[in-house]
C-alpha cells in the first residue's frame, strides 16, 4: 500500500537533508584544512608541490572529459596561491581576497543588469512590414 505524505513534509525532509550535507561538507573542509596545515608546517609539501598537484588534477579532468581545456599557468598559479592561503591560515590575506572576489561578482552583476536589445518574432516583423506598406508604400527598416 503506497504511503502518502504532504508536500510540507517532503520539503521539510529535503531541507533537512540539504542541511546535513552542508554541515558534513563544512566538517570535511575543516578536517582537510587542519591536516594540510599540519603537513605544511612539518615541511612535507610546499607551494611548488601545490602547483604541480593542481596541474596534475587538471590533466586528469581533461583526460576524463570533465573540462574542455587545460587552464593556463596563470590560472593554475592563482589556484595554488588561494589553496596555500588557506593552508597557511593567512586570515588577513584571505579576507582581502574574498573582498576582491565579492567586488568582481558585483561588477559582473551590474554588467548583466544593463538594458538589452530584444528582437521581435518573425510574425510581428511581417505585420509591421504590412502596416508600413499600407501607409507609405515602403518597407520599414529595423
Phi/psi of residue 118, nearest 5 degrees: -105, 150
Supply angle C-alpha 29, 90, 22, rounded to 5. 20
pTM, to two decimals: 0.59
Residue extents of the structural domains in the chain: 11-111
- pLDDT at position 87 is 92
> In this structure, are residues 98 and 106 in contact, taking their beta carbons and an 8 Å threshold?
no
In whole angstroms, what is the distance from residue 39 CA to residue 33 CA? 10
Give pLDDT tens digits for 37-77.
Answer: 999 999 999 999 999 999 999 999 999 999 999 999 999 99
Amino acid at each position: 500500500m503506497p504511503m502518502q505524505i504532504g508536500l510540507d513534509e517532503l520539503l521539510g525532509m529535503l531541507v533537512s537533508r540539504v542541511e546535513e550535507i552542508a554541515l558534513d561538507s563544512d566538517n570535511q573542509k575543516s578536517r582537510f584544512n587542519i591536516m594540510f596545515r599540519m603537513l605544511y608546517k612539518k615541511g612535507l609539501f610546499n607551494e611548488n608541490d601545490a602547483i604541480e598537484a593542481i596541474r596534475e588534477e587538471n590533466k586528469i579532468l581533461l583526460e576524463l572529459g570533465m573540462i574542455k581545456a587545460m587552464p593556463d599557468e596563470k590560472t593554475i598559479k592563482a589556484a595554488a596561491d588561494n589553496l596555500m592561503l588557506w593552508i597557511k591560515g593567512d586570515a588577513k590575506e584571505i579576507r582581502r581576497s574574498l573582498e576582491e572576489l565579492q567586488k568582481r561578482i558585483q561588477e559582473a552583476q551590474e554588467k548583466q543588469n544593463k538594458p538589452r536589445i530584444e528582437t521581435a518574432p518573425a510574425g510581428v516583423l511581417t505585420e509591421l512590414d504590412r502596416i508600413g506598406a499600407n501607409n507609405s508604400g515602403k518597407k520599414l527598416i529595423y
